[in-house]
Amino acid sequence: MNPPAGSRILIIGIRRTGKSTLALFLAIDSGARFIIIWDPNNNFRAFPAARTKDELESMLDEHQEQQEQLLAVIPLYGPRPAQRQKRVILRYLPHPNHLEDEFEAFSDIVRRRLAGHYAVLIDESDEAVQSRQQMSDSMAWWMRRAPTEQDWPETVEVIQMTHSPQDVYTRARNLVTDVYVFRTNGQPELEWLEDYTQNPEIAQMARSLETPTRQNPEGSRHVLHIYDGPGGEKEFEVLTDPDEWYIQIGSNRGQFQQQQKQELEEDARRPEEEKAG
């Protein structure tokens, strides 16, 4: 599960399957130093939110000018504490009655104020941002023109989440580098997957992926990862261990910051413990 830098990722799944959690993990795993989230349904409650364009501009400007005043910090775990990196994660809560205009303004602000390697998470990308017939100007920019691996160090990870892949702009699917699918039995979704992969067997695997149910609420969460093989054909892997990608996104902000403080304090103590050992 290592998409290349500058990936264009699509995550498919019904409500509460784990789309948002997986999206955040992929953004962190990419190495992006800044993660900005379009959060129309208020799913990423663990992180600071801007509710107006002025607030978003102010938060981004504060980050650019005083990077040491982090709004939220997640350590990237490496073999040694010194290899951990800090990341800023914040989100924008758009006005629900003006999603199209809000997304255009959100995108313009982010593009003007951020540079280097960052990630944009677009939740509910089938709502106002695009349809199977068209996509907004800003969505087209993120998918077609945002810097990729070839433009390093200017690189943008674009990760979108949707319930309905059939509402993703038809021509844009050729720009997607990786697709992650949670279990689905919906015929439109299965038909979309078969058309995308040109492989009925891969599409039908989405029916049998394990997921928690009312009868088995503690069940695992399997994810089907589809990507381009060396010859251009679609290949896949099934991710069977959710512990590899689970990250808390809905906790109280104070709890989240306290967890991070405890982890960083443990890091500070570890070198002394290693010396003593």
Q: What is the DSSP string of 121-176?
A: EETTTTSSSB-SS-B-HHHHHHHHTS--GGGTTSEEEEEEEES-GGGS-GGGGGG-
Q: CA nearest 208: which of 224, 192, 194?
A: 224
What pLDDT score does 84 carry? 42
* pLDDT tens, position by position, 192-216: 999 999 999 988 899 989 887 666 6
Percentage of the chain modeled with pLDDT above 90 = 51
Mean pLDDT of 84-96: 83
* pLDDT tens, position by position, 116-154: 999 999 999 988 889 888 999 999 999 999 999 888 889
Average pLDDT, the chain: 82
8-276, superfamily in CATH?
P-loop containing nucleotide triphosphate hydrolases (3.40.50.300)
CA distance 41 to 20: 11
Task: With beta carbons less than 8 A apart as the criterion, state whether 207 and 37 touch.
Answer: no
Domain edges within the chain: 8-276
Computed on alpha carbons and rounded to an integer, the radius of gyration of the chain in Å comes to: 19
Task: With beta carbons less than 8 A apart as the criterion, state whether 89 and 45 touch.
Answer: no
Residue 68 has pLDDT above 50, yes or no: no
What pLDDT score does 271 carry? 52
Single-letter amino acid code for the residue at 99: L
* pLDDT tens, position by position, 238-253: 999 988 888 767 654 4
Is the pTM higher than 0.75?
A: yes
At 74, the pLDDT band (50, 70, 90 cuts) reads very low
- Any idea which residue has 């699917």 for tokens? 173
CA distance 109 to 103: 10
Give the chain's length: 277
- Any idea which residue has 């928690």 for tokens? 212
